[in-house]
Amino acid sequence: MSNNRILFCGALLIAFAISCSKNPFTGKSTLALVPNSEILPSAFAQYNTFLKENKVVTGTSDATKVTNIGTKIKNAAEKWLTANGYKDYLKDYQWEYKLVESKEVNAWCMPGGKIVVYSGILPITKDDAGLATVMGHEVSHALANHGQQRMSAGMLQQLGAVGVAAATGSKSQETQQIAMTAYGATTEIGGMLPFSRSHETEADKIGLTLMAIAGYNPEQAVTFWSRMAAASGGNKPAEFMSTHPSDETRINNLRKLIPEAKAEAAKFGVMFK
């Protein structure tokens, strides 16, 4: 075995050995090659830059709604964490909720609790429960440290590419190119895309619980995602080629998770018919 391949294998083993941390929301040990002490300051700076470069909506009923619902979702997360023995989990988060004028049908939450809702999604959210579905889902990405995991997975993917290059270094240029192309396609379709879809499913589950604890009927999540599916007109890639589950898969999963979300909410005195 060449020195390069030895170094690669050693680095890969070390990365796996030191990079796992358990997340309270998922109960899973997850990749954490980049610490939040580095990720959060960078995320906050990027968020502030984004706000300066885009039109933030203030002083309207919609802007107030975004802030109020975001606060309720945040409070629900704090209640759940405190009840489950993780009171200080959010100590480094700096929550902020902004409505931004844009035709884009989207919303996102950066690591550390920095949330943006685009005005273009409001006609589809329609009501408070719809918006709570969106914000609960996006907040859950941050709570589950999905950004950190994606960065870590990307680093491992790059590290693997170094290994492929080292293993084929003595081969012809054509062989090296074929190997790298095959590695890229295999890790993307067989690794990175399923990884991303699993994050979406986790965020759906956590978000459903948080919206329920916050007092929003989780059954309305199915109603919202049905509207989203109708709005897309079915113009989406096949699930195995996508970063997101298909609309059908997502809605079916949510239906199965509703009883669990209601049961969690009941622990906090929130009941639904």
Mean of the pLDDT values across residues 8-31?
Answer: 59
Neighbouring C-alpha atoms within 13 Å toward the C-beta of 263: 6
**Residue 82, domain extent:** 35-266
- Rounded Cα gap, residues 9 and 7, in angstroms: 6
Residue 23 inside a domain? The answer is no
Residue 258 inside a domain? The answer is yes
Q: What DSSP string describes 235-270?
A: ----GGGSSS--HHHHHHHHHHHHHHHHHHHHTTT-
In this predicted structure, what is the pLDDT of residue 202?
A: 87
Mean of the pLDDT values across residues 253-259?
Answer: 95
Residue 243 inside a domain? The answer is yes
Give the count of domains, the chain.
Answer: 1
| Catalytic status, residue 138 | yes
Q: Pick the catalytic residue from 96, 138, 202, 264.
A: 138
For the ranges 28-32, 66-70, 224-228, 248-252, the maximum mean pLDDT occurs at 66-70
Q: Are 139 and 111 in contact (CB under 8 A)?
A: no
Residue 124 inside a domain? The answer is yes
pLDDT per residue as tens digits for the range 184-212: 444 344 444 444 556 788 889 999 999 99
Q: pTM for this structure?
A: 0.74
Choice between 85 and 28, residue whose per-residue pLDDT is larger: 85
**Of the candidate ranges 5-14, 131-140, 199-208, 247-256, the one whose mean pLDDT is the lowest:** 5-14
Residue 146 inside a domain? The answer is yes
Residue 14 inside a domain? The answer is no
pLDDT per residue as tens digits for the range 81-108: 999 999 888 888 999 999 999 999 989 8
Tokens 């396609």 locate to 185
Residue 24 inside a domain? The answer is no
Residue 20's identity, in one-letter code, is C
